[in-house]
Structure 1
Amino acid sequence: MKQEPSSGVLEKPMLKDYQVGDFFLSSPNQTILGKGSMITVPINEEQDNQMEGLTDRVAATLKYAEKQGHCNPIVTGAIPFDYKKPAHLHVPQTVHMSACLQEYEVGKTVDTDRPPAYEIQFVPEPAQYIEGVEKGLAQIASGHLDKIVLARSLHLTSSANVGIHQLLHNLAAQNTKGYTFAVDLNKEGKSIRDKSLIGASPELLVSRNGLRVVANPLAGSRPRSDDPVEDQRRSKELLSSSKDLHEHAVVVNAVAEALRPFMKKIEVPDSPSLISTETMWHLSTEVKGELALPETSSLELAIALHPTPAVCGSPAERARESILDIESFDRGFFTGMVGWCNALGDGEWVVTIRCAEVEENELRLFAGAGVVGESKPEEELAETTAKLQTMLRAMGITELSK
């Protein structure tokens, strides 16, 4: 396997080298470009829960790749929100790794001044989404749930095929501090239409480098404002909001509890900090620790965390059941995870948000909002609209009325 070492200067402009069908993930630490598919991680069709045994199947796939002569193979791909749906993971034929994207490589967004015309369908319609939030609030009031994350989707259709490479470039340029990704979703020998998962997530689910583990849950948010004064007011309001601080604490506690059995030591800050994207302010907590056992892989940690209350709710299983009952669409890989893992167990997994599934001339965009007892349905609808702006701006769409 061809693997380029990390360095301070990119020897290859890997964003330009991306082609539809490749695996691409840029993070604040490095950039990975995987080309081709040497081996696909098998699906266990006899099991209802596709997460069971997945780490063993990945480990076996990596060992097989090594026996076939691949040096330092990695598994890359995406895992869906619903544990009953299969993961989409494979070992690329070649992998290029280098430093994080540089400004000279990303440059500025282009081709968004005259975006193609899209026919837009809201799924569900805004009024139905508000009704769903009200159902979630009723379950919280009854004591059935503490929190539920409810999402909606936009279906966009154009007369021309979507320029995935340009869309990826624009996402990378607009979200330099986050995680920009593209994953091929085609099934070998079964796909007629090219299908890709593409996005720019602000949220690290978990990374492992040796014994060092980092998770960075986000929960609680505010839309950005073009007015600097108003923008700062919103950030300060978020940092002092009892509703958002409670929502954030629920997520951080759940992440820490899920990681603790694997850790020799763990550090959890007492209070969150703020991070920002082009479109949103988020409450953020970086949980760090040291693994107790070196054989615990990044994928095993990611599965233990998935899904966090930031994308599902609490208690997790009840929230998941309620989501499947309330939401009128299949989330697919939205609120799942995208990432990679090598034979040593090192790797990085990102929460799949601010994303779209792209299939020729069609896109499905997704956004969700965390609902707690103090939530107001109209505000949750507005939050999803703000979160959709990451993808819409990259497409050159600056206004969404609903």
Structure 2
Amino acid sequence: METINVARDTSQKLFLESFIARAFRKNHSFAIWKKPKRGVVEMISDNDSQNTVSPNLDLDELPEGFMVHPFQPSEANPPVYIKASQYERFTLGENAPLEAREWEAEGKTLQAPATFIRDKIASLPARDHSPSSKKSQFIATVKKAVACIERGEFYKVVPARLKKKRLPEDFDLAGVFLELCEAYPNAFVNCYFSEDSGCWVGASPETLIRTKGDSFYTMALAGTQKARGDNPLKNAAWTQKEIEEQALVSRYIVNCFKKIRLREYQELGPKTSVAGSLLHLKSEFLVDMRATNFPQLGSVMLKLLHPTSAVCGMPKEKALDFLLTEERFDRAYFSGFIGPVNLDGETDLFVNLRCARLENNEALLFAGAGITEDSVARQEWDETELKCSILGKFIQTKTSR
């Protein structure tokens, strides 16, 4: 296995461990994250146990907090909103305020926080008893999807798979989070927990929407290949299938703009984007909400975009029907969206990709592949293996310090 060289700051790790352990002990929901290209780790905990919200996605009406939205809302997977009752932050590479997080209760010293966290994760009940997806089943699904595309039923569909991994005995959640921050500086590194959603960790490369002041931003991300050589951007070569797949995602965003008669937007790309050891094709879209007189654009586009063609397909309704019929496991919050809302005047929501749910001493890894008429089933399986390895290699590594 590839060696992961990480410069670890003991105070930051202990700070994170104590924050997570305290929230777990008090049964408080929490969220921890680092935004792309930023060196600040932010974290909130919610002192209110009633944090499940309705599917209403009017962002302006929400208090400061963290949104956790499933792929498809259901009684088993409701939208969750973690309010920012407590907010902490620290800059990577600097000492964390350790004195603010003493791991004590009622004058009695408890077990080490890392051990307490491992025991808590081990005690979380399994929510989906489906086995790991079989290669033969996934390949059969891809072939069926290609046949449907050839018959004109839809243009693209994104089937997903589930891969379960046993957590090592010394699994260290805080250590994994900090390793992901260093390994994937351009990703949204996150960890969150609530009674409704369970405990998740991830490093998503894809922004769903961002609003700050009068600015609105979204992206079209698709196509996947392994980064190669010392200059992976220069070495990237995209096939017609990958170019068309990314173009479909961009077209989906433009069609959403057309639905609301928004014509004034800036489109940048497509260009190759680095996400750790993987490369993707990315186009970016920017809108001045003041110039277009559209202050609610974030909420409106959120409802139109999800689920995007990058995680579902086109047309959305027919692709979704195919997925709900063919997939043999519950996506839950995978390919939904997550992120901080109305913190420091900014909302950043990301598609929940490259993620794992932690429960019952297991990591449930999720990955999908965009299928078009040019897809080759075995190559699509290999792509999902690459995506699962993003988190899998960290989870399987002995991380306890």
Q: TM-score, normalised by structure 2?
A: 0.76
For 1:265, what is the secondary structure of its paired residue?
coil
Amino acid at match of 2:30: D
* Matching of residues 224-373 of structure 1 within 5 Å: 224-225=227-228, 227-228=229-230, 231=232, 235=236, 237-238=237-238, 241-259=239-257, 261=260, 263=262, 265-269=264-268, 271-291=269-289, 292-293=292-293, 295-296=295-296, 298-342=298-342, 346-373=346-373
Is 1:184 the counterpart of 2:193? The answer is: yes
The residue number in structure 2 matching 1:157 is 166
Tell me the distance in 2 between the aligned counterparts of 1:211 and 1:232. 32
Tell me the distance in 2 between the aligned counterparts of 1:245 and 1:162. 39
Q: How big is the shift at 1:389?
A: 1.3
Identical columns (%): 22
For 1:172, what is the secondary structure of its paired residue?
helix
Tell me the distance in 2 between the aligned counterparts of 1:289 and 1:170. 34
Of 35, 45, 63, the residue aligned with 1:35 is 45
CA RMSD in angstroms, aligned pairs only: 3.0
The residue number in structure 1 matching 2:57 is 55
How many residues align structurally? 340
Q: How big is the shift at 1:178?
A: 1.2
What is the CA deviation profile of residues 344-397 of structure 1, one whole-angstrom value per residue up to 9, with x for unaligned ones?
974010110000001241110011110000010011001001111110122245
What is the CA deviation profile of residues 163-219 of structure 1, one whole-angstrom value per residue up to 9, with x for unaligned ones?
2222212211211121101111314xxxxxx93111001111110001101112210
> Given the superposition, is the C-alpha separation of residues 233 and 159 from structure 1 closer, same or farther in structure 2, using an over 3 Å criterion?
closer
**Do the aligned partners of 1:161 and 1:360 also contact (CA within 8 Å) in 2?**
no
Is 1:220 the counterpart of 2:223? The answer is: yes
Tell me the distance in 1 between the aligned counterparts of 2:95 and 2:284. 28
**Do the aligned partners of 1:250 and 1:309 also contact (CA within 8 Å) in 2?**
yes
Amino acid at match of 2:46: G
Amino acid at match of 1:133: V
Tell me the distance in 1 between the aligned counterparts of 2:383 and 2:295. 40
> Given the superposition, is the C-alpha separation of residues 26 and 179 from structure 1 closer, same or farther in structure 2, using an over 3 Å criterion?
same
The residue number in structure 2 matching 1:25 is 33
Q: How big is the shift at 1:39?
A: 6.9
Tell me the distance in 2 between the aligned counterparts of 1:264 and 1:126. 44
Q: How big is the shift at 1:305?
A: 1.1
The residue number in structure 2 matching 1:114 is none
**Do the aligned partners of 1:124 and 1:153 also contact (CA within 8 Å) in 2?**
yes
Unaligned 5+ runs, structure 1: 1-11, 45-50, 63-72, 112-120, 188-193
The residue number in structure 1 matching 2:87 is 95
Tell me the distance in 2 between the aligned counterparts of 1:163 and 1:211. 40
What is the CA deviation profile of residues 286-329 of structure 1, one whole-angstrom value per residue up to 9, with x for unaligned ones?
11111244641644432321111111110011111111111111
Tell me the distance in 2 between the aligned counterparts of 1:249 and 1:318. 19
What is the CA deviation profile of residues 59-87 of structure 1, one whole-angstrom value per residue up to 9, with x for unaligned ones?
55x4xxxxxxxxxx413131011144421
> Given the superposition, is the C-alpha separation of residues 299 and 164 from structure 1 closer, same or farther in structure 2, using an over 3 Å criterion?
farther
> Given the superposition, is the C-alpha separation of residues 288 and 295 from structure 1 closer, same or farther in structure 2, using an over 3 Å criterion?
closer
**Do the aligned partners of 2:52 and 2:78 also contact (CA within 8 Å) in 1?**
no
Tell me the distance in 1 between the aligned counterparts of 2:305 and 2:68. 15
Is 1:211 the counterpart of 2:220? The answer is: no
**Do the aligned partners of 1:333 and 1:352 also contact (CA within 8 Å) in 2?**
yes
The residue number in structure 2 matching 1:199 is 202
Unaligned 5+ runs, structure 2: 1-10, 22-28, 97-113, 115-129
The residue number in structure 2 matching 1:167 is 176
Is 1:142 the counterpart of 2:151? The answer is: yes
Tell me the distance in 2 between the aligned counterparts of 1:203 and 1:304. 17
Amino acid at match of 1:32: E
Q: How big is the shift at 1:43?
A: 4.2
**Do the aligned partners of 1:256 and 1:287 also contact (CA within 8 Å) in 2?**
no
For 2:174, what is the secondary structure of its paired residue?
helix
**Do the aligned partners of 2:356 and 2:365 also contact (CA within 8 Å) in 1?**
yes
Q: TM-score, normalised by structure 1?
A: 0.76
Q: How big is the shift at 1:340?
A: 2.2
